[in-house]
Amino acid sequence: MSPHAVTNHVLDVIIVGAGIAGLAAALAIHGAGHHVTIVEGASVLREIGAGVLISSNATRELIRWDLEDDLRVLIVQSRVSRVLRWDDGKVLSEVKMDPSFALKKYNAPVWMLHRADLHTAMLKKVQSLGIEIKLGSRVLNADVDEASVTLASGEVLRCDFIVGADGVRSKMRDIISQEPVPALPTGDYAFQFALEIGEYKNDPVIAPLVEGHAATAWWGPGRHVIGTLLRGESLFNCVAVFPDDGSLGDEHKQLGADVDELRRNFSDCVRSILFHADPSSIVKWKLQDLDPLEFWHRGHAVLIGDACHPMLPYLAQGASQAIEDGAVLAQCLAHLPLDRVGSAFQDLRFSRATQIQQNARKQKTENHYPDGPEQQARDERLKDPTQVRAWQWEPVVGKPNKTWSDGLFGYDSQVEFEEYLKEHDAGRRNVKQTVRL
């Protein structure tokens, strides 16, 4: 079909990668009426990781994709958020939260989920819709002008459009950029483990941490720990971040770890929690990032999620931004000719994702101040709950400025796309790319 035509033709879309970004794109693009195939290099799908905060900007999409009932028993809605000093446990900040507040103000709730639970629910929904997932199908190359991917097996898959959702170590990023674009080490490792709450109801260390549905963070020089309730409040999940000592080499993740390494990096206040960790259950991974890319697209291909804007975990927005990406891309594919899809998607997503990415970097710096004047000023500022992450979005000409919370939680992919069309397609007829009968 002509890349300039807007017709009722059903597009064949290949998505590279079956992580949260790839599954989100599959659900949204299938929902827009197109035919989707997912190719994934792994032979078995197994999502590992920690808790993910799915804020209103993303839960509204999951609800549109009919996932709320599948996730309901797994959702946690924290009622207290605390920041403590890493050495003595002194409370730096404590914010009470109303679980119904986001629903009332932004028309969508805020959920805390285990990453694996979210991925499993999305995967089951994709499979129930008959979307094909080709496992053990590593992409060796792609022709973004003719829209085809070549697998390591030699098989060539032809399509109308390619979505690169293959993560921070993306092959599609190199292909679209026409040169290697390696992920950048942040200088940090993250360790994650979870404890079954039922085993620690009377534990003098763990039990007080989970009372009142609390999420707790300990901040210290060059490191921090976050503890949250997950899986319907049956798990206490810990993520510990500290300096990369090079022990992973070029590996990105590993299962199992030296728990003594974890304990050595924290003070007595936090170490008492870390002593509960089962070494065989620990996931260790190298935190990696990218500087903002000039182009997220070329030809009939586009990058989404960590492939183009990895989100450091300090703002817990990685999964939410991947979900937004899938929703926005589906709007572009449904309403625009193919030669405009990539540029429109980048126009719609670049500034927002980049600002969140940059603020995640700022949050890392704030979390990890060495003891001294900057740390003391931060601790004083945290006493005022309104100053916790008191950032502003970059102003947009002709639009009112938004607070950080309003701009983050109030985002709606459908509204954003409709506004984009009004600004860029004034006087043009809005024709859907396809409607599946």
Q: For residue 409, tell me if it sits in a domain.
A: yes
Determine the Cα–Cα distance for residues 127 and 117; give it in Å rounded to an integer: 15
3-state secondary structure of 231: coil
Distances (CA, A) of 229 to 92, 156, 189, 209: 20, 45, 22, 9
- Model's pTM, two decimal places? 0.92
Determine the Cα–Cα distance for residues 110 and 101; give it in Å rounded to an integer: 9
Q: For residue 239, tell me if it sits in a domain.
A: no
**Dihedral pair phi/psi, residue 408, rounded to 5°:** -80, -55
Q: For residue 230, tell me if it sits in a domain.
A: no
Q: For residue 324, tell me if it sits in a domain.
A: yes
Total count of domains within the chain:
1
Walk along the chain (437 residues) and give the pLDDT tens digit of each residue: 333 334 458 999 999 999 999 999 999 999 999 999 999 999 888 777 678 899 999 999 999 999 999 999 999 998 888 999 988 889 999 888 898 999 999 999 999 999 999 999 999 999 999 999 999 999 999 999 999 999 999 999 999 999 999 999 999 999 999 999 999 989 998 888 888 988 888 888 888 888 778 889 999 999 999 999 999 889 999 998 989 888 877 777 777 767 788 788 888 778 888 888 887 788 888 899 999 999 999 999 999 999 999 988 888 899 999 999 999 999 999 999 999 999 999 999 999 999 999 999 999 999 999 999 999 999 999 988 777 666 889 888 778 888 889 999 999 999 999 999 998 875 444 444 433 32
The bridge status of strand 223-230 relative to strand 283-289 is unpaired
Q: For residue 178, tell me if it sits in a domain.
A: yes
Determine the Cα–Cα distance for residues 200 and 183; give it in Å rounded to an integer: 39
Determine the Cα–Cα distance for residues 359 and 235; give it in Å rounded to an integer: 29
Ordered DSSP codes for 248-317: TTT-SEEES--HHHHHHTS-HHHHHHHTT--GGG-EEEEEEE-PPPS-SEETTEEE-GGGT----TTS--
Name the β-bridge partners of 374.
none
The bridge status of strand 184-196 relative to strand 161-164 is unpaired
Q: For residue 45, tell me if it sits in a domain.
A: yes
For residue 42, give its domain range.
12-74+109-183+290-367+401-424
Determine the Cα–Cα distance for residues 156 and 164; give it in Å rounded to an integer: 16
3-state secondary structure of 171: helix
Which pLDDT value is given to residue 209? 83
Tokens 């971040």 belong to 241
CATH label of the domain that carries residue 169: 3.50.50.60
Q: Do 300 and 233 meet the contact criterion of CB atoms below 8 Å apart?
A: no
Q: For residue 394, tell me if it sits in a domain.
A: no
